[in-house]
Amino acid sequence: MEVHPSLLTFTEGCQRHQLSFDMWLPLPYPYGQINISEPSDNCTTVNHSIIENLSNKNTIKTGNVVNSVFIPYSDTAFRFDPVLANSAQSSNKTLKQLALKTNKGKTLIFSGTPKPEYPVAGIPLINELLERYQWRLISATDDTNKTINKFNRPDVPITANYRLGSHDYSNPQQSSFSQGVGFSVGCNGAGGSYALSTNQTLLIGGNPSTMVGCGDDIDDIESSLSRLMLYSSSQLTLINLDTQRVSNPSDNSESSCLLTQKLESGETLVWQNEVKKIP
C-alpha cells in the first residue's frame, strides 16, 4: 500500500488498485472512485495481504483482498490506526505496522519499510516554510524543457498557498485534518490536501473546486493547472537569493527565495516567495 493525500494505491501481486477518498472530511473516511489495473495473461497474482475479521479473530488469507474490502458504490468507510508493538498483531518491537480498519468490521494490517533517504539540494524544507509565504509562479517548462506558454503569462498570475487549518486533536472523529495547498489564477481555485514526504517529496491530493465561468482563456489555464497539480508527486528544492536566513520559521525577516518543483511527469515549475495575504 502507498499512502498519498486523498489517494491509496494497493499492489496485490501484479494487480494495482487506486482508491480515492475524501481526506478533508472527519473520520472515518468515505471513499469514492476505484481504478483497477488488470494483470496480464501471464501474470500470477500472489497475495501478501491479510484480512482480520474483528468479530471472531479469525485470520483469512485470500486472493483479491482489496476487491473484497472496497466494494464499488458501497457505504464502506475506513480509518488508519498504528499497531502497537506489544499487541498481538506485532511481536517485533522494531517493526512498524499500520492497520486500515473499515466500518464493516475488517482490518488490513500492513508492515512498513522506511523510504531511503539521500542528501537534498538547497535549504532543508519544512511545512512552516511552505505555509509562511504566498508563492507566485515565475517559470514553467514541460518535460522537454520547452516553455509552457499558458503558465507564463504576466497578465494571468498564478499563485500557490499552503495552509494548515484547525484540527481538534481531542475529538479526531469529528474533526478533519485540513493541511492543504490551493492554486489560483484569479478566478476559481484548485487544490487539495498535501504532504511533505521523505527527501522533500511533495504529494498533493484533490478537493472539490468552485466552477464559476471565467472565460474560455482563464478556464483553459485553470483546467490545465488542475490536471497537472492534483494527485501529483514532485521534488522540491528551495534556494535563498539573499543573505537573510529563511531556515528558521520564527525569524521575522523576509528573504527572497525560489522554490523549484520538479514533477514526476517531467514538468518543472519555479515559484517566487511573496508576503502572504491575510484575509
pLDDT at 28: 77
Say yes or no: 197 and 93 in one domain: no
Say yes or no: 108 and 137 in one domain: no
Domain final residue pick, 77, 112, 147: 112
Say yes or no: 84 and 134 in one domain: no
Say yes or no: 148 and 237 in one domain: yes
**How many distinct helices (H) and strands (E) make up the chain?**
3, 17
pLDDT at 57: 42
Least Cα distance to 65 among 97, 26, 19 occurs for: 19
Whether 121 is covered by a domain: the verdict is no
| Pairing relationship of beta strands 189-197 and 179-184 according to DSSP bridges | antiparallel
Say yes or no: 53 and 94 in one domain: yes
Whether 259 is covered by a domain: the verdict is yes
Task: Provide φ and ψ at 237, rounded to 5°.
Answer: -135, 125
CATH code of the domain covering residue 137: 2.40.128.270
Whether 139 is covered by a domain: the verdict is yes
Prediction pTM value: 0.76
Whether 60 is covered by a domain: the verdict is yes
**Cα angle value 12/17/23 (rounded, 5°):** 125
Whether 117 is covered by a domain: the verdict is no
Say yes or no: 144 and 242 in one domain: yes
Say yes or no: 139 and 215 in one domain: yes
CA distance 81 to 52: 14
**Cα angle value 227/148/258 (rounded, 5°):** 90
Stated length of the chain: 279
At 162, list the grid cell: 499552503
Range of the domain at 56: 2-112
DSSP state of 147: B
Whether 245 is covered by a domain: the verdict is yes
- Count of domains for the chain: 2
Say yes or no: 56 and 139 in one domain: no
pLDDT at 243: 56
Whether 93 is covered by a domain: the verdict is yes
Domain final residue pick, 56, 89, 112: 112
At 17, list the grid cell: 488498485
pLDDT at 270: 98
User: Which residue stretches of the chain have pLDDT < 70?
Assistant: 23-26, 32-64, 72-74, 85-95, 165-178, 208-212, 243-253, 279
pLDDT tens profile 81-130: 888 765 555 445 556 888 998 888 888 899 888 888 888 899 999 999 99
Say yes or no: 245 and 131 in one domain: yes
Contact 112, 82 (CB under 8 A): no
Whether 106 is covered by a domain: the verdict is yes
pLDDT at 221: 93
Domain final residue pick, 64, 88, 112: 112
Say yes or no: 217 and 91 in one domain: no
Say yes or no: 71 and 171 in one domain: no
pLDDT at 134: 95
Can you tell me which residue has the cell 484575509? 279
Say yes or no: 245 and 202 in one domain: yes
